[in-house]
Every structure is written in structure tokens, then in C-alpha cells.
């Protein structure tokens, strides 16, 4: 018998296909605005200096490669909690918050899906429309009931009224996934006033927020980006947060992140954490150690931490400047108002508002590569060629 005979082929990740097409394009003036990694002015995704220094210390001092336990490296968890909630947050002193180290933010979401399925059976999960496609597949694969709330409409504007109205109708007790900042794929974030309105309905409907925090430091700053997470943690007894160190530490391939649970009291947190380590045991047993050890070195050392903060700010401000610069370059074509949202959005991604046909023309006629939804990774542009990019965009508008 041929056991695999009936297995069909599924399509690959469309973003990876874009990467191949970009690599094969001989045009020296090409732009890669597709893939979701930070790029510097040279188009590279370099290892941060703080990371290199931390790795050197690990090479010199690490004594063992033994397992690190189901929740991962304790120092990593403690320091990540400080970064996310602020070291003086009473949640921490009250032992109401705990991080379970996971293989990246994706691993945290995957563990969270199992946690909901096992420990909160019959709860649905609600995702923004649109959202990062992996949110859809992770929660669907875990057999959760997945619903959607409006977020950005066909007019390429935040549909906050639609979002709020949908929240009013979400079944009592369901889980709502929110992006802490730098919404992927749109770049549209909520204002502080809007977050407060969401919090109000979350309380009234007794919803459980799961906040995906994959871009801390890429929006308005490390502290500023944590504002909504901290507001929810202050105001609610229970909260789930998935944190990723892929972008802000540039540790993509080291698979570094955590599922952070906040519980009503220290005893309940221990119950929740017992479940998380049991579930993680069936997924990856222990998480990979290296990336988290690097993060712990950096966050636990005043000098390395300061260096890292400067490096994160450099990445953040480069993206912000590219956003403003691109809109200024589009102004030369009379398109400043049409694309004003690009400067208002946050993080690496921008829903440009370009349609699939325009995206195709940009690729075929100008070697500008972006996702067919019109999502551009702004960090893939470079400041010295924004006029060329703007001219290409103008030619398809």
C-alpha cells in the first residue's frame, strides 16, 4: 500500500512565494515590501549589537544545556513581565502574573489555543477582520469556534463603531483577541480613548481579552506601546498576553516569546500555570533556550539594556520616518491626502489601500513587491529611494 497516495498538496505561504519572486528579479532598483521582518537602510536584518554582546557572555559563561523546565528560564519570565507590565506593577508583587516561555509569539498563541480548548471549553474566540492569517489557522486548527469583529473596512479606515457594536453582541465570556499595537496587517491602532471604550464593553460582556503583543517598541516606544496591556491588567482580574521577542530583539529564528497569564490571585495563577506546563509538555516539552537566555542577559544588565533600548528606538524611528517620508514623496504626485493614513499607522505594516491589481502592476512594471492585500512592510523601503517608490505608486493610481 502507498500510505501517502491520497494526501493532496496544499498551497505554500504566499509571502514566501513573494520572497522567491523578489530574489529572482534582476532589477537593481527593486523593493521588497513583502516579508514581515525589520530591515535597516541597507536592506539587511542584522543581529543587534546588544544581542551579540549577550551571546558572547553566554558562550563564555553558560554551564549546561540541560532542560530548562516547562515554563522556561525563570529569569526570562520575570524580566519579560517587568518589560510588559512595568517592574513596579502591583500585579508582580501580588504574584498574579506569570510568563510561560514559548517558541516565539506563534508558540504562545498555539499554547493559548490549547489552553482555551482544554480549560475554557465552549468559549469562542473573536478576531479582528482582517488579522494576521496565522491567527485564523491556529485557532481554527485547535477546533475553537472562531468569530470576527469588523476592524478595517473596504474604505481602508478603522471601523471603530463597527468593532464596538460587534463586541456588544459577542456571547458572554468569550475570548477576544486584540493587537496591543502595530496591528498586523493594517497598521491601524486604537487611540487611548478607544481602548477605554473597548475595556468598558469587555467588562460588561465579561469577555476574556487575549492581547497579542508582537511589536513592543515598534509603535510609539517600549513603554508607550504597553499602555493598553497595562490598562487592561489594571482594570481586569484576568488577562492573557502573548509576547514575542522576534522583532524587538531581532531574534526571529531563535523562537523566543511567552504566554503570560494574569489571574485574580496567586493561588489561581498556580492552577492556570499547572495547566499551561502540562499542555506545553505535549507540544514542545521544554521551550528552546538560547533566545530567552539572550533576552534575560540583556534585560538583566543595565548596560546591555540601555544599549538595546537605543537599538529598538533606532528601528522604531526609522520606520516612523519612512512613513512620513513616503507621504511627503507622494505629495509631489498630488497624493499626500490620499495616502495620509500611511503616516498615521504604526509599526512595520501599512494597509496602503492599493488593490490586488495595483499591487500586481507595481510588481510587474516597477519591481515593487508587496502582499496582494496591499499590505506593505514600510521597513523594506529605503529613505534614499522614496521618490522612486512614490513615482511607482503614483503610476498605478
Instruction: Report, as residue numbers or ranges, the catalytic residues.
Output: 132, 212, 247
Distance in Å, CB of 134 to ligand PMP, minimum: 7
Distance in Å, CB of 296 to ligand PMP, minimum: 17
Residue pair 223/189 in contact by the 8 Å Cβ criterion: no
Q: 214 or 330: whose CB is closer to ligand PMP?
A: 214
Distance of CA 251 to the CA centre of its chain: 13
Q: 92 or 134: whose CB is closer to ligand PMP?
A: 134
127 vs 17, 148, 164, CA distance in Å?
Answer: 26, 5, 13
Binding residues for ligand PMP, per CB under 6 A? 36, 104-106, 132, 179, 184, 212, 214, 244, 246, 252, 257
Alpha-carbon torsion (217, 270, 111, 238), positive or negative: negative
Distance in Å, CB of 96 to ligand PMP, minimum: 24
Residue pair 201/178 in contact by the 8 Å Cβ criterion: no
CA distance 19 to 11: 15
Q: 37 or 208: whose CB is closer to ligand PMP?
A: 37
Other CB atoms within a 10 A radius of the CB of residue 189 amount to 21
Q: 329 or 351: whose CB is closer to ligand PMP?
A: 351
CA distance 283 to 111: 8
Distance in Å, CB of 220 to ligand PMP, minimum: 17
Distance in Å, CB of 212 to ligand PMP, minimum: 5
Q: 227 or 252: whose CB is closer to ligand PMP?
A: 252
Other CB atoms within a 10 A radius of the CB of residue 90 amount to 12
Comparing C-alpha atoms, which of 312, 290, 291, 144 is closest to residue 226?
A: 312
Amino acid at each position: 500500500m502507498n500510505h501517502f497516495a491520497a494526501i493532496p498538496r496544499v498551497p505554500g505561504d504566499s509571502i514566501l512565494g513573494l520572497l522567491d519572486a523578489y530574489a529572482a528579479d534582476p532589477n537593481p532598483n527593486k523593493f521588497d515590501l513583502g516579508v514581515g521582518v525589520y530591515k535597516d537602510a541597507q536592506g539587511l536584518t542584522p543581529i543587534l549589537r546588544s544581542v551579540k554582546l549577550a551571546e558572547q557572555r553566554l558562550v563564555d559563561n553558560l554551564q549546561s544545556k540541560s532542560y530548562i523546565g516547562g515554563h522556561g528560564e525563570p529569569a526570562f519570565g520575570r524580566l519579560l513581565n517587568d518589560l510588559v507590565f512595568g517592574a513596579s506593577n502591583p500585579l508582580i508583587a501580588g504574584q498574579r502574573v506569570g510568563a510561560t516561555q514559548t517558541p516565539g509569539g506563534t508558540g504562545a498563541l498555539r499554547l493559548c489555543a490549547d489552553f482555551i480548548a482544554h480549560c475554557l471549553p465552549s468559549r469562542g474566540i473573536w478576531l479582528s477582520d482582517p488579522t494576521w492569517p496565522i491567527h485564523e489557522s491556529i485557532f481554527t486548527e485547535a477546533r475553537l469556534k472562531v468569530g470576527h469583529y469588523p476592524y478595517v473596512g473596504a474604505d481602508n479606515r478603522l471601523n471603530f463603531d463597527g468593532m464596538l457594536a460587534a463586541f456588544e453582541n459577542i456571547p458572554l465570556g468569550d475570548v477576544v483577541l486584540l493587537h496591543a499595537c502595530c496591528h498586523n496587517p493594517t497598521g491601524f491602532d486604537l487611540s487611548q480613548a478607544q481602548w477605554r471604550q473597548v475595556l468598558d464593553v469587555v467588562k460588561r460582556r465579561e469577555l476574556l481579552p487575549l492581547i497579542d503583543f508582537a511589536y513592543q517598541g515598534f509603535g510609539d516606544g517600549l513603554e508607550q506601546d504597553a499602555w493598553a496591556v497595562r490598562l487592561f491588567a489594571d482594570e481586569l482580574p484576568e488577562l492573557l498576553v502573548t509576547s514575542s521577542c522576534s522583532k524587538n530583539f531581532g531574534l526571529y529564528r531563535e523562537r523566543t516569546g511567552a504566554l503570560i497569564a494574569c489571574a485574580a490571585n496567586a493561588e489561581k495563577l498556580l492552577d492556570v500555570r499547572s495547566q499551561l506546563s502540562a499542555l506545553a509538555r505535549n507540544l514542545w516539552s521544554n521551550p528552546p533556550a538560547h533566545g530567552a537566555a539572550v533576552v534575560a542577559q540583556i534585560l538583566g544588565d543595565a548596560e546591555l539594556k540601555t544599549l538595546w533600548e537605543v537599538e529598538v528606538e533606532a528601528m522604531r524611528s526609522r520606520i516612523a520616518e519612512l512613513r512620513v517620508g513616503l507621504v511627503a514623496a507622494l505629495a509631489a504626485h498630488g497624493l499626500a491626502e490620499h495616502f495620509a493614513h500611511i503616516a498615521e499607522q504604526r509599526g512595520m505594516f501599512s494597509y496602503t489601500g492599493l488593490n490586488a491589481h495595483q499591487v500586481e502592476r507595481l510588481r510587474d512594471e516597477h519591481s515593487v513587491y508587496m502582499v496582494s492585500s496591499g499590505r506593505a512592510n514600510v521597513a523594506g523601503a529605503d529613505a534614499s529611494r522614496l521618490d522612486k517608490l512614490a513615482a511607482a505608486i503614483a503610476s498605478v493610481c
